Amino acid sequence: MTATRRDFLSGVLASTAASALSAGTARTASAQASTLRVRFYDDPAGFDPSNIFRIENENIAFNIFSGLTTYDSTSGKIVPDLAESWENKSNKVWSFKLRRGVKWQKNYGEFTSADVVYTYNRIVDPKTSSPYAAEFGNVESVEAPDPYTVVFTLKTPDGNFLHQVANYHQGQIVNKKAIEDAGDRVRWNPVGTGPYYLDFIDVNSRIILKRHADYFRGPAPIETLYFQIIKDESTATIALRNGEIDLIMRSNREENLDILAKAGFTLNKVDNYAALVRVVNPATNRALADVRVRHALAHAIDWEAVCKATGAQLQAPAHSLLLPWMDAYSPNVPRYEFDQARARKLLADAGAARGLVVRQLGTAAQGVTEIQQFEIDFLSQVGVTMRMELVDTPTFNQRRNRAEFELSSRLLPAVNPDTILFSYLHPSNAAPRGLNGARYDNPKVTSLLESARAEVDPAARKAMYVELQKIALTDMFYQPLYTSNVVWPGKKNVVGVRINYLAQVNFHEVSFA
Amino acid sequence: MFAFAGKKLIQLIVTTIGVVTLVFFTLRLIPGDAASAMAGDTLSGEALERLRDQMGLNEPLMSQYLTYWRKLLVLDFGETITTGLSAGELMRAAAPITISIALATIVVTVLLAIPLGTLAAFLAHKGKKGLDSLITGAAMVLDLMPSFWTGLFFLLFFSLTLGLFPASGTVSLENPGHFLQRIALPVMVLSVTQVATMARITRTAVLEVLSEDYIRTARSLGWSELRVLFRHALKNAALPIVTVVGLSFGSLLNGTVIVEFIFNIPGIGSLLVNGINSRDYQMVQNLIIVYALIFVTINFVTDLVYRKIDPRVSF
């Protein structure tokens, strides 16, 4: 748990040496011997990339580890990370040229292609029991012809493979010796090549990251990241206003954002981070098998008004399963404008003129949210009674995974459009095997999904994605409701807080003004 | 006394076995498990099964139960399912914090509530209804204030407006000054309700005693009102007050769950809530045992105090 004296001393020595060596460069001229205090909103659950969960933990891992590729903080585009460049043959053989001279944290030596091979073998090794093993299910072999080259050969072509090797979950490269040294405490002893290393953790109160002096892009401006666990959002708001912290990792309450904005704090924000979709399960309610009923549900609610009333800074209406910043996004898909007269007619045509009862699964922890109260009201205006079934969160997850619901919702963060579309729409992912809780199975969509994944030409791939979205959004078993924004309020002098589309912040870009 | 202690010890063992068994099986009857709680929106199917394997959730139930007992008998509390950390270490770090808050609250409560309740009883006895009503009314209002609301109010007032106490920060016994600063607000919040309850009980108990013959006799001996009130009336009204103090300690352990959340205190209340929310069976089972032990100990101490106050009490 706690760093050893040797780790601490070596960290201090390394950072001192690095500062001295690079004195005079533009980068270190701006380096600040300083501490940034950040609110961390839940108990940490560990940082082993093979078994990491939840955005807050992923945020820590994102700054400790590197992938072969990573995401640009602003555009969300794939950019080089540990790989300097890559080439591929027919989307099937992917060859990566690695950076030279990259140093592991905590004196674990130099990064080479053997680390990449070890990482991917570890993920797929049944002994690791990694839930992300399936992400590499399509990898036939990984070879390291020399210390700075890695070649992946896939079983079937995958045009989105660069996402699989990005700095996220299974894509984060680990060090074999560090893993072996950590024994059964791997998740609490992460060693990566990223801009910060884990210096200390008390799972009940704080996580301290220190600047990795030998980081291949140069040392980060801020020396220490002090993550203070503050679960209650109002307490976090007061702590920021009191000056006890500099930055809030994620604030989800509109009233707190208003207070902080008025008090002169910066609301660092990323819009459209992920889309919440309603999952319609016709197996448990026959009426929902009728496409007219599903369209009626979509027409019945004024999402513009609902989003505005409940938190204009935190969400916006969604019209697609994908996000507007994704390559495969297209506005030219069926849209369901607010039209209650049309909703009533569709219901009447479907034989539900006298009313319809549907059950929406939700969590007791959230209760009936403000948004759901609006939904219930809007639906009642067209004769649909939406009853809430509130269960505790683990039960909610289990029932949703087993498709034991009539209506449910899911928010799947991903940068790769293929992840979202395949997860929802491909029959191989039908519940309980995967996230396709509606058990959607349209052969045309399935064929397009598989063809798009294998397609070499990006334009042709996009055309297939658009076509299959048109079909899926006509069938409407997955109904886009609204997109979520992520806000990190902070002090004015904390600059460079750019939240990427996985709701992560690269602290190497953050500094004090 | 030894027979009494032995009887209590047997009760403790039987209670613990019952509680552990009940909690072990009922937790597993509830739908959902640690794997589905942890995976949230992102996993399903085979990936979720891999996670279950890793957490040991796919082991046969009886095997899990026997393993748990085998470890418990050698005081090995095992590792939490969700973090893989030693549950014993986590509890050892958290328990002193919660117990300190509960004890400090009891001290503050006793110091405030007993004089206030006694004063209110005295005023009522003397027919001075105005001040008595004020104290009693204030106690009722305070009693009804939910701690999550009082907590936020105190945070805004004492932390943000006055800047007297921090809203966040580490809570460590290694730094007593900072520790006291951090637990001050939780103690104040918990004390509000406790003072109100205990002041009302004290008032009722003392008021009843004040009408007794021996109090009249004490007054006729020319003793001061203070001496009569605190030395004779309060002492004879002590039994119900001691009962409430004992019960308060138990309820405080539960009450700390909310204040620990609001004030960001890493106590056993937080561990329990997190354990339940994440279906961390190992942690919940252990904590239930700790709670059971604390409650039985409180009852034991309360019984001993009864006997000290009133030697006529027998068990």
Could you state, in order of their start, the residue ranges of all structural domains in chain A? 1-61+194-265+491-513, 66-189, 271-485
Locate the domains of chain B by residue range. 2-73, 92-309
Q: Does B163 touch chain A (CB under 8 A)?
A: yes
Statement: the pTM of the whole predicted model exceeds 0.80:
yes
Query: Per-residue pLDDT tens for A72-96?
Result: 998 888 999 999 999 998 889 999 9
In angstroms, rounded to a whole number, what is the distance separating the alpha carbons of residues A10 and A104? 13
User: Stretch A40-45: mean pLDDT, rounded?
Assistant: 89
Buried b or exposed e, range A136-166, using 16+ CB within 10 angstroms: bebbeebebeeebbbbbebeebbbbbbbbbb
CB-based contact B167 A396, cutoff 8 Å: no
Phi, psi (rounded to 5 degrees) for B301? -65, -40
DSSP secondary structure string for all residues of A353-397: TT-EEEEEEEETTT-S-HHHHHHHHHHHHTTEEEEEEEE-HHHHH
Taking the C-alpha atoms of residue B136 and residue B117, their distance in angstroms, rounded to an integer, is 8
Task: Give the DSSP per-residue string, A306-354.
Answer: HHHHHHTTTEEE--SSS-TTSTT--S-S------HHHHHHHHHHTT-TT
Structure tokens of B297? 């100990």
Most confident of the ranges A52-56, A170-174, B275-279: A170-174
Q: Spell out the residues 6+ positions from residue A498 whose beta carbon is closer than 8 angstroms to its own.
A: A73, A74, A268, A270, A505, A506, A509
**A435, closest residue in chain B (CA to CA):** B44
Is A398 in Cβ contact with B38 (below 8 Å)? no
CATH number of A66-189: 3.90.76.10
Specify the CATH number for A1-61+194-265+491-513; select among 3.40.50.720, 3.40.190.10, 2.40.50.140, 3.60.10.10: 3.40.190.10
User: How far apart are the CA of B223 and the nearest CA of chain A, in angstroms?
Assistant: 53
- Tell me how crowded residue A9 is: count the other CB atoms within 10 A of its CB: 11
| Predicted confidence (pLDDT) per residue in A97-123, tens digit | 999 999 999 999 999 999 999 999 999
CB B48 within 8 A of CB A401: yes
Integer Cα distance of A501 and A503 in angstroms: 5
Q: Which amino acid is present at B300?
A: F
Asked whether the predicted pLDDT for residue B174 surpasses 90, the reply is: no
Q: How far is A238 from chain B (nearest CA, A)?
A: 6
Decide if pLDDT at A25 tops 50: no
Chain A with chain B: Cβ pairs closer than 8 A: 150
Q: Is the pLDDT of residue A240 over 50?
A: yes
Secondary structure (H, E, C), B214-226: HHHHHHHCCCCHH
Instruction: Give CATH for domain A271-485.
Output: 3.10.105.10
pLDDT tens, position by position, A459-489: 999 999 999 999 999 999 999 999 999 999 9
In whole angstroms, give the CA distance from residue A91 to residue A411: 29
Q: List all residues 6 or more positions away from B156 whose beta carbon is below 8 Å from its beta carbon.
A: A238
Identify whether the C-beta of residue B136 lies closer than 8 Å to the C-beta of residue A171.
no
Q: DSSP assignment, residue A505?
A: B
Q: How far apart are CA A9 and CA A12, in angstroms?
A: 5
Enumerate the residues of chain B whose CB falls inside 8 A of the CB of residue A395: 30-32
CB A191 within 8 A of CB A109: no
Which CATH number does B92-309 carry? 1.10.3720.10
Closest partner residue to B84 among A134, A184, A435, by Cβ? A184
Residues in B touching A46 (Cβ below 8 Å): 83-84
Distance from CA of B299 to the nearest CA of A (A): 30
Among A228, A231, A238, select the one facing B261 at the smallest CB separation.
Answer: A231
Residue type, A9: L
Axis crossing angle, helix B129-144 with helix B87-125, rounded to the nearest 10: 160
| Mean pLDDT over the full length of chain A | 90
CA distance A305 to A302: 6
pLDDT reading at A8 higher than 80: no
Q: What digits encode the pLDDT tens for the residues B193-235? A: 888 888 888 988 888 888 888 888 888 888 888 888 888 888 8
Q: Say whether pLDDT at B315 is over 70.
A: no
Asked whether the predicted pLDDT for residue A23 surpasses 70, the reply is no
**Higher confidence at residue A7 or residue A33?**
A33
ipTM score assigned to the predicted complex: 0.78
| Confidence check: pLDDT of A33 > 60 | no
Q: Which of B33, B40, B264 faces A231 most closely, judged by CB atoms?
A: B264
Residues of A in contact with B38 (CB under 8 A): 45, 53-54
Minimal CA separation from A162 to chain B, in Å: 20
CB within 8 Å: B262 and A235:
yes
Task: Give residue-wise pLDDT tens across range B1-23.
Answer: 677 777 777 877 887 788 888 88
| Chain B partners within 8 Å of A1 (Cβ) | 85
Q: Determine the 3-state secondary structure of B225 from DSSP.
A: helix
For tokens 């902070």, what's the residue?
Answer: A490
Asked if A215 and A65 touch (Cβ cutoff 8 Å), the reply is no
Are B169 and A244 an interchain contact pair (Cβ–Cβ within 8 Å)?
yes
Structure tokens at A8: 């601490």
**pLDDT tens digit sequence for B33-47:** 777 776 666 666 666
Residue A159 one-letter amino acid: G
pLDDT at site A167: 95
A369-381 tens-digit pLDDT: 999 999 999 999 9
Identify the residue among A60, A123, A201, A235 best suited for mutation to test binding to B, counting B beta carbons within 10 A and taking the highest. A235
Measure the CA–CA gap between A20 and A13, rounded to whole angstroms: 11
pLDDT tier, B314 (very low <50, low <70, confident <90, very high otherwise) = low
Provide the residue count of chain B: 315
Nearest Cα to A246, choosing from A35, A497, A490? A490
The residue-averaged pLDDT of A392-403 equals 84
Q: Which two tokens stand for residue A280?
A: 């319609």
Cα gap A173→B151, rounded to integer Å:
44
Determine, for residues A431 and B48 on separate chains, whether the beta-carbon distance falls below 8 Å. Answer: no
Q: What is the pLDDT of residues A284-306, one digit of tens each?
A: 999 999 999 999 999 999 999 99
Residues in chain B with CB shorter than 8 Å from the CB of A203 are 83, 85, 90
Task: Say whether pLDDT at B288 is over 70.
Answer: yes
Task: Kindly identify which residue of chain A lies nearest to residue B270, measuring between CA atoms.
Answer: A204
